[in-house]
Amino acid sequence: MASIDPKIQSRLIRDLEPVVAVELDRHIATTKDWYPHEYVPWSEGRDFAGPLNGDAWEAKDSKLTTVAQDSLVLNLMTEDNLPSYHTEIALSMGRDGAWNTWINRWTAEEARHSIVLRDYLMATRGVDPNELEDLRMAHMQVGYETPYDNDMLHTVAYVSFQELATRISHRNTGRISNDAVCEGMLARVALDENLHMLFYRNLLGAAIELEPNAAMVAIKDVVTNFQMPGAGMPGWGRKSVQIALAGIYDLDLHLNDVVQPVLRAWNLFEVTGLNAEGETARNELAAWLDQAASEVEKFNEKRDHHFERLVARGQEPLRLK
């Protein structure tokens, strides 16, 4: 992966600060405050085993399917790693002026997501609380580090896609939960993620105008190496396969509902005046998109066969599409 010239980075951080200020104002004018506690069905809750001598969790307590449980746990673990994301973002964007205000605002908004998800899962006994806590301890101790040496352009490019990816993942997790309360809660979280995506996407749009070649390289690196932020957590492999099979988040959604719309918003393939490095990066990006499109077709066919086999065995497939 090419690293961006540090001189370009520091110039960009300085020149983009007024853009951050404008986008921050727009974000605050658009977003509506909300209260996580209002989304949680507290009346369903009861004490757990332990100091309060309540009832230990049992698998039959949860009304969620296994795939809905997996997806909620994975999304919650992803949100739980916020201290690591805050650190990475602060290191790559710096703390000057509006950058600092944005980072703290964004962090405060993100914290609501883990609060509401955990409160919902505990009140409804949706998942094993001890397993969840053990997983959180393990996951947060691994932490999260960007593979981009805290390079601002790569980080902003990454979050432009990642916020939209989490939006879709939360929304579809709600849809598959079969619980209107869960669906409403996750639709609310998904709305936040969409506004975060808009902030970063607009910011990177301004960076493309100022430094098209460096931005093109960063976007190409991020798209062609993309991994969800929760990818390091214990049990990720099995859970992410089930989530893909269920159509909650798969390569089709990643390519057609995340990567392509963001690239289109930047008009990336119409950018003119690139140097050789910028052109090479754009060509590599185009080649990746073609390759991904053919993998989507293959995966969708495999999935159809998988579900046909399940139906033939008398099992009911749980999927969104």
In Å, what is the CA distance from 22 to each residue of 28, 106, 155? 10, 15, 20
110 binds Fe ion (CB under 5 A): yes
Residue 188 beta carbon to Fe ion: minimum distance, rounded to whole angstroms: 11
Residue 39 beta carbon to Fe ion: minimum distance, rounded to whole angstroms: 14
Asked if 13 contacts 20 with a C-beta cutoff of 8 angstroms, the reply is no
Residue 110 beta carbon to Fe ion: minimum distance, rounded to whole angstroms: 5
112 binds Fe ion (CB under 5 A): no
Q: Supply the DSSP symbol for 187.
A: H
H or E element that contains 7 = helix 6-30
Q: Tell me the number of residues near Fe ion by CB under 5 A.
A: 5
Q: Binding string to Fe ion for residues 56 to 75, with x set by CB under 5 A, is what?
A: --------------------
Nearest to Fe ion of 170, 220 (CB atom): 170
80 binds Fe ion (CB under 5 A): no
- Joined tokens for residue 68: 């809905």
Bridge partner list, 48: 55
Asked if 79 contacts 170 with a C-beta cutoff of 8 angstroms, the reply is no
Nearest to Fe ion of 111, 293 (CB atom): 111
Distance CA 88, CA 122 (A): 29
H or E element that contains 246 = none
Asked if 225 contacts 147 with a C-beta cutoff of 8 angstroms, the reply is yes
Other C-beta atoms closer than 10 Å to the C-beta of 95 total: 11
Binding region for Fe ion (CB under 5 A) out of 147-155, 162-170, 175-183, 227-235 = 162-170
Nearest to Fe ion of 109, 211 (CB atom): 109
Question: Which residues, including other chains, have CB under 8 Å from residue 38's CB and lie 6 or more apart?
Answer: none
- Which ranges in 46-151 belong to alpha helices (H)? 66-80, 82-93, 98-123, 129-142
Residue 280 beta carbon to Fe ion: minimum distance, rounded to whole angstroms: 32
Residue 201 beta carbon to Fe ion: minimum distance, rounded to whole angstroms: 12
Could you say which residues in the range 244-303 bind Fe ion, by CB under 5 A?
none
- Joined tokens for residue 268: 């990336």
Binding region for Fe ion (CB under 5 A) out of 65-73, 94-102, 113-121, 299-307 = 113-121
Interface residue with Fe ion among 113, 139, 171, 239 (CB under 5 A) is: 113
Interface residue with Fe ion among 139, 154, 196, 303 (CB under 5 A) is: 196
Nearest to Fe ion of 193, 211 (CB atom): 193
Which residues bind to Fe ion, rule: CB under 5 A?
110, 113, 163, 193, 196
